[in-house]
Amino acid sequence: MDIADIDLVSVDHLLMTTRAVRKRLDLARPVGREVIERCIEIAIQAPTAVYSQTWHFIVITEATQRAAIAEIYRRAGEGLRSRAFPPNPYMSGLLATSPDDKRFTQSLQDE
């Protein structure tokens, strides 16, 4: 594909109006291994802080395992939100600290 073939207006619109890609996912539809591998290829092109490339990918296709891992992530997220777990010191300036903060209510809507 040549860059001239890309409709930049549509791409810009998509990027500016999609809060989180996960809201557009059809979680009930199976995804082929080729699609997953292509998504990972694309993901590793994303910028990382100080070019550290600390990303890791684990593909889990078994529903029971996915549910168990989702529960672990859910509990961890609840612990971070409730401040039961200490926040990352590098992120402390970015976290909403009170319900009056617009970011606080937005983070609840993202779920």
Tell me the pLDDT tens digit for each residue of 65-74: 989 998 998 8
Number of domains present in the structure of the chain: 1
Instruction: Tell me the CB-side half-sphere exposure of residue 11, using CA atoms within 13 A.
Output: 6
Q: What pLDDT score was predicted for residue 110?
A: 46
Structure tokens given for 41: 């290829």
Looking at per-residue pLDDT, the higher value among 92 and 66 belongs to 66
26-30, 49-53, 69-73, 92-96: range with lowest mean pLDDT: 92-96
Q: What does the pLDDT read at residue 67?
A: 92
Distances (CA, A) of 52 to 45, 46, 49, 93, 107: 12, 11, 6, 21, 27
- The pTM of this model reads 0.49
